[in-house]
Amino acid sequence: MSSTSQKHKEFVAEPMGEKSVMALAGIGEVLGKRLEEKGFDKAYVVLGQFLVLKKDEELFRDWLKDTCGANVKQQGDCYGCLREWCDSFL
């Protein structure tokens, strides 16, 4: 990952709190709605899945693709965002 988006920088800069799933880098309105429909309405719920998968990049990417249809870039952006947040706050 050569550079991070503004969305990524804003997300990892502070505790997650009650942020929407759409606050995650790589997750826009379309993917956010798909995740919400499956019960992943908050960023912390996706974080929970990330942790259940033991922060494994391949497993998380596969889960994101299967759950909401995220493409490779979106998977990578979301994974990187959560990984960096965990490195800072866990």
Domain of 77? 6-89
In this structure, is residue 59 part of a structural domain?
Answer: yes
pLDDT of residue 4: 82
Contact 78, 64 (CB under 8 A): yes
pLDDT tens-digit series, residues 34-71 = 999 999 999 999 999 999 999 999 999 999 999 999 99
Mean pLDDT of 20-35: 98
Structural tokens at position 37: 């429909």
Total count of domains within the chain? 1
- Cα(57)–Cα(34) distance, integer angstroms: 21
pLDDT greater than 80 at residue 17:
yes
In this structure, is residue 47 part of a structural domain?
Answer: yes
pTM: 0.94
Here the CATH number for the domain that contains residue 49 is 1.10.150.40
In this structure, is residue 1 part of a structural domain?
Answer: no
